[in-house]
Amino acid sequence: MTRSLLLLTKLFRAQQLGSIRLSSTIMNPLVAVCQMTSTADKEKNFEVVQNLVVQAKERKAQIAFFPEACDYLADNKKDIVAFSETLTGPTVSRYKALAVEHDIWLSLGGLHERQSEGSPKISNTHVLINNEGSIAAAYRKIHLFDMDNKDTGVRLMESDYVVPGGEIIPPVSTPVGKIGLSICYDMRFPELSLTLRKSGAEVLTFPSAFTYQTGAAHWEVLLRARAIETQCYVIAAAQTATHNKKRTSWGHAMIVDPWGAVIAQCAEKTGIAVAEIDLNLLETVRRNMPCENHRRTDLYPSMNAS
């Protein structure tokens, strides 16, 4: 890094830290990113979610973010589909009651949503529930993770049992800012994140069940890249450890600030990490590095669409 670039980085970080210290007397809203190891036992998974919600509320978080497949993670296609429920089913109803009981918003990333009775496929749906127990938004995953690697013998074909979503949901106004909804594999497609930023997102969330191998190589760098290029907070709840004989997840649930710094991260076990969402800091980063003003949408007009 050249001396001038190094100086610029130091100045930005100094300004950022100064903003955090100043705002500490005001108290910015807190969020909790959650990490767990789901199995096929839906009741035990709910108990884990319930315990993590209690922890998040005790630490004054206004929203708790949960990973993809927080409802369950089965090891075969038959059970994945058979265990699914509609968004009016008992599991989502219990999540709603939990939000009301603890006066907290819940981001439940990647629930297995039943299409219709007897349907061979489901939706992978990110549900955002407000503190009054209402569904504020539901996003159905548009990028499905399909891997059939003959060299390694790894076959994970989400499209075998999931219908891809067909809509980008506009950012949702919440107590911590405007949240753009995505799920796991979506993070590999910057077009989605940039579209959400253009639509007003201040926070991007990627609830995930990242495989161990891809997580070790790409998890942190992808999340930090999405934060840097959109100048948004990024919140990525994660599955961790061994779910069954076929599946192990990377973990490392984290929160990244708009400058690309990891400001909170979970240890390698079930638990939460908490951080402030400082929208004044976000505006400072965007003002001092006005990337949006420099986009050449005359040369890549596809990004004009929001």
Q: Say what the pLDDT of residue 20 is.
A: 40
Residues with Cβ < 8 Å from 254, sequence gap 6 or more?
33, 220, 223, 236, 238, 262, 264, 265, 266, 273
Q: What is the mean pLDDT of the chain?
A: 91
Instruction: State the amino acid at position 209 in one-letter form.
Output: A
Q: Say what the pLDDT of residue 155 is.
A: 79
Find the catalytic residue in 42, 96, 141, 178.
Answer: 141
Q: Say what the pLDDT of residue 303 is.
A: 54
pLDDT category of residue 206 using cuts at 50, 70 and 90: very high
| Span of 25-29, 70-74, 112-116 with lowest mean pLDDT | 25-29
* Residues 300 and 193 sit within 8 Å (Cβ to Cβ): no
pLDDT category of residue 4 using cuts at 50, 70 and 90: very low
Q: Residue 15 pLDDT more than 80?
A: no
Give the rounded percent of residues in the chain with a pLDDT score beyond 70: 89
Q: Residue 38 pLDDT more than 70?
A: yes
CA-based R_g, the chain, Å: 19
Residue 257, CA distances (Å) to 13, 57, 62, 201, 284 in order: 11, 22, 17, 13, 12
Q: Say what the pLDDT of residue 5 is.
A: 47
Query: What secondary structure, in 3-state letters, does 168-227 show?
Result: CCCCEEECCEEEEECCHHHHHCHHHHHHHHHCCCCEEECCECCEHHHHHHHHHHHHHHHH
Is 60 one of the catalytic residues? no
Is 117 one of the catalytic residues? no
pLDDT tens profile 94-113: 999 999 999 999 999 999 99
Q: Residue 34 pLDDT more than 90?
A: yes
Mean pLDDT value of segment 134-146: 97
H helix count then E strand count, the chain = 7, 16
Mean pLDDT value of segment 15-23: 43
Mean pLDDT value of segment 227-240: 98
Q: Residue 306 pLDDT more than 80?
A: no
pLDDT category of residue 17 using cuts at 50, 70 and 90: very low
First to last CA, the chain: 35
Q: Say what the pLDDT of residue 302 is.
A: 63
Mean pLDDT value of segment 20-41: 80
| Span of 16-25, 56-65, 130-139 with lowest mean pLDDT | 16-25
Find the catalytic residue in 34, 42, 68, 202.
Answer: 68
Q: Residue 45 pLDDT more than 80?
A: yes
Q: Say what the pLDDT of residue 195 is.
A: 97
| Span of 159-163, 169-173, 198-202, 297-301 with lowest mean pLDDT | 297-301
Find the catalytic residue in 34, 184, 232, 266.
Answer: 184
pLDDT tens profile 234-273: 999 999 999 999 899 999 999 999 999 999 999 989 999 9
Is 68 one of the catalytic residues? yes
**DSSP-based helix, strand, coil % in the chain, nearest 5:** 35, 30, 35
Mean pLDDT value of segment 192-209: 98
Q: Residue 14 pLDDT more than 70?
A: no
Q: Residue 140 pLDDT more than 60?
A: yes
Question: Which pairs with CB-CB distance under 8 Å and at least 24 residues apart come from 142-145?
Answer: 142/166, 142/167, 142/168, 142/186, 142/192, 143/185, 143/186, 143/188, 143/189, 143/192, 144/185, 145/184, 145/185
The CA distance from 273 to 281, in Å, is 20
